[in-house]
Structure formats: C-alpha cells, structure tokens
Amino acid sequence: MYLKEVDRVLRPGGYWILSGPPINWKTYYKTWKRSKEDVQAEQRQIEALAESLCWEKKYEKGDMAIWKKKVNTKSCKSKSVNVCQTEDADDVWYKKMDTCVTPSPEVTNANEVAVGALKFPARLYAVPPRIANGLVDGVTTESYQEDNKLWKNHVNTYKRINNLIGTTRYRNVMDMNAGLGGFAAALESRKSWVMNVVPTIAKNTLGVIYERGLIGIYHDWCEGFSTYPRSYDLIHASGVFSLYKNECNLEDILLEMDRILRPEGAVIFRDEVDVLNKVRKIVGGMRWDAKIMDHEDGPLVPEKILVVVKQYWVASSGNSTSNDQ
C-alpha cells in the first residue's frame, strides 16, 4: 500500500530513493538482528513490486537504491497490478487508501511523457496538461492565461506597497487560496518559496499547481493547519473570508493565521470591502497594524486590499505590551 501511494503522487519520469533497510542487508543484517533470508526476501519483494509499478531500478550502492518511474505505462508489460477504477484520481481528501494503482494519463506513443515533458522554469507559465486537455472544470487555456496576467498585475501592486516582497525578508510565504497558482508564479524568486494551499471547499486545482512545478497542499481553513507556530513570514489571503463566510468564524481563521505568522510578518488580504472592514476590526485586537487600500483599478471597485503587520510584543504581568523588546 505504501509503494502504491508513492506511485500515485510520483510524476511519470520521477525518482524514488530508498535509503536504509533492507538496502545493503549483507552488511547490516546482524546489526538489525534479522536473518539473511528475511531481509533478502524483503528486498526481493520491493524489487518485484517496483517492477510491477513500471519503475526501473537505476542505481544501488552502499545504503542507497534509486528507481525511476517510466514516463508512461504504454511500454509496461506488467498485468499483475490492480488498477483503480475511480473516475477522479484527484479526489483523495478524507478518502481511505486503497491497494490499487492510479493510472497515468493516456499517451499516443511510447516516448511521450504522460504529464508533459516541460522542465522548470518553462513549465511555470506553459499551459498545464490538465487544462490543455479540458480536465479542470471551468478553466480554459484562455482563462488560464488571463489569470496569469491578473496575478502579475496584483503582485506588482503588492511590491509597490511593500518593497520587501520578493526579498529574503519574506523567505517562507503562504497563499491561503491559491487557485491556479498565479500568485506564486508571479512572485517567482529564488529568495522565497510559496506554500500554495487549495481550500477543500474551493475548485480542486492542486494538480495544476504541481504541473506548474510549484508546491501545494489541500486544507480546510476551519481546521488547524499542520505546521509549527511562527512558520511563515508572509501570508496571502485572497477571497478566503468570502469563501468561508458560511463555514466558520472569521476569528478562528485569523487566530490560526496569527499562530503560524512570525512576529513582524505581514499578511495581504484581498476581498470585498465589507468583509475586510470586519477583518480590520478583529486584527486590531490581535495587535496587528492594518491599512486598507483601494483596488488597482480604482476606488469604485468593491474589492479592496488590506495589508497588516504583526507586531513584535511581549505580554507583561501588568497586561501592558512593549514594541521594542
């Protein structure tokens, strides 16, 4: 089951590296307190399963072995695996794992890469195969390209507001409602990286984000986010509160954002003006400095931008705060 799940998330042409038991069992089997027959059988089982998954073993030396997943399954001769019958292989949120193999996209010849052959950074703005093949409901090649133009414009505005964006000051960045990954693509910088979060109640676009060479995760913002406190330097929240207005309280989401945001970190909200006014009142009580601004296209647009900075403060016994510690 473990290797079949690895196969599900591994791109055709990708690599799986196994470091540790049972690799190099001849050297370590006594240290592991296992018999030669036991560890040898375990490695043979892994080898056989990898072959059935259309993985080709490329390397083994010392404590490491490397397999490469074939670029498609057209040349794969294995008939022993149980292929998943699901109609939507991307629908995995809160689903029980199964012992079947998720099929790769169909190809027209044995040399074609099943998920597209473009390498980063070319694939960052190329039309993702999912969109080109009409597999994302409501998203076309044209709308994808328009989305990219829109986010380039938005990010240019953010940089005018805060010239630290794109620098090492904001190394760890999160986009709470990533959509097609346009914000992260427009922000492209070797000085920062973006965790693209696709809310579970939004359109499922996580596959597009990965096809662009970006990283991301599903999450329900009515729940805690699985990360350490003070993990992120900059958080981008576009339309998050409108999306969740009938799902859970604004306060709960904001407090979770406060938990994962570093002191003196920043948040950029983009939402309807009435929503942002509610957010601004709440964050004032959280000791965040806030400033609301008009949309790039002028004051008549109902969507506004709210920029906040989390203060660095320490509570004292007298319930006072200090900004200079």
Task: Transcribe 70-117 into DSSP letters.
Answer: -S-STT-----S-B---S-TT--TT----SSBPPPPP-SSTTS-TT--
Which pLDDT does position 322 carry in this prediction?
A: 45
Residue range 180-230, pLDDT digits in tens? 999 999 998 889 999 999 999 999 999 999 999 999 999 999 999 999 999
- Residue 230 region, left (φ>0) first, then alpha (ψ -120 to 50), else beta? left
Q: What percent of the chain has pLDDT over 70?
A: 95
C-alpha closest to that of 158 among 268, 14, 311: 268
Cβ partners under 8 Å of residue 21, min gap 6: 28, 32, 39, 42
Mean pLDDT for 2-11 is 91
Which pLDDT does position 313 carry in this prediction?
A: 67
Q: What is the DSSP letter of 122?
A: G
pTM: 0.87
Residue 105: cis peptide before it, omega within 30 degrees of 0: no
Residue range 290-307, pLDDT digits in tens? 999 999 888 889 899 999
- Domain ranges for the chain: 1-114, 122-310
CB-based contact 288:235 (threshold 8 Å): no
Helix, strand or coil, per DSSP, at residue 139 = coil
Tracing tokens 């010849």 back to the chain, one arrives at 109
Query: Mean pLDDT of all residues in the chain?
Result: 90
Task: Tell the burial category of 183 from Cβ atoms under 10 Å away from its Cβ (0-12, 13-18, 19+).
Answer: buried
Choosing among 3.90.870.10, 3.60.10.10, 3.40.50.150, 3.40.50.300, the CATH entry for 122-310 is 3.40.50.150
Q: How far apart are the first and last CA of the chain?
A: 51
